Amino acid sequence: MAKTKNQLLGLYDNQNFKGVHEILNNYFISNDPLPLNDLLFIYEDTEDEELINKISSILTVRFSEIILELITRYQKATSKYSKSVLMSVIKSDLTSQNINFLIEHWLQKEDHRNEIMGCLMKDPESTLLGLSAYIEFHPISFDQEEMIIHHFLMQIDPKLFYQNAADLGYMKICDLFYSIPPESRKKIELLKPPKEKKTS
């Protein structure tokens, strides 16, 4: 595999895209380590949508193997575009390996906030428990961050909170939850005003 690994960038530089695709296809079925440097370089450099989609699919399929490395690279990256590329992969799935990173970024950074929220809502129960642990040990600001947390708590089904009450105990998130008016502890769709009745 080392030979094909070394060939990847050479084939790409020589515009031998058939050869590039052949090597990439192997990463879907192989357990060999991914050449992240090469894959991310091509991902950032190319404008070929098929190539971008294939590399993205590979990174998603092999997500559990590379997620911690991607987070480390994101934290060290200085290029805004590189950060955007890395975040697009990091937020593609929600696991125990990336949930704390996503929660912290979601609360403290404005970039990708809506996309991260979409990822976190894939598993609201895990997010609720992860968020509870996070704010227990990290002070939150009582404006922006509290507003974001309230928004999340207003979107989840209140039953989810009550079902996990034993685990949440007297954690700080309980104060945030109960500070929301009871009538607002509903899914956001239910907060939309009712349609006006037609008058005859």
CA dihedral 119, 133, 104, 90 (to 10 degrees): -40
pLDDT for the residue 102: 95
Q: Is the pLDDT at 54 greater than 60, yes or no? A: yes
Report, as an integer, the average pLDDT of 103-126: 90
Residue 111 reports pLDDT greater than 80: yes
Q: How far apart are CA 67 and CA 86, in angstroms?
A: 10
Q: Where are the domains of the chain?
A: 1-73, 91-188
Whole-number pLDDT of residue 106 = 92
**Predicted confidence (pLDDT) at residue 6 exceeds the cutoff of 70:** no
- The pLDDT confidence band at residue 188, using thresholds 50, 70 and 90, is very low
Lowest mean pLDDT among 2-11, 37-46, 57-66, 101-110: 2-11
Judge whether 75 and 83 are in contact, CB under 8 Å: no
Average pLDDT over residues 22-29: 91
Non-local (6+) Cβ contacts of 174 within 8 A are 168
* Band (3; pLDDT cuts 50, 70, 90): very low
Retrieve residue 186's tokens.
């509903």
Average pLDDT for residues 181-199, to the nearest whole number? 52
Listing DSSP states for 94-140 in one string gives --TTTHHHHHHHHHH--TTHHHHHHHHTTSHHHHHHHHHHHHHHS--
pLDDT-derived band at 142, boundaries 50, 70, 90? low
Give the pLDDT confidence of 145-161 residue by residue, as tens digits: 888 998 899 888 888 88
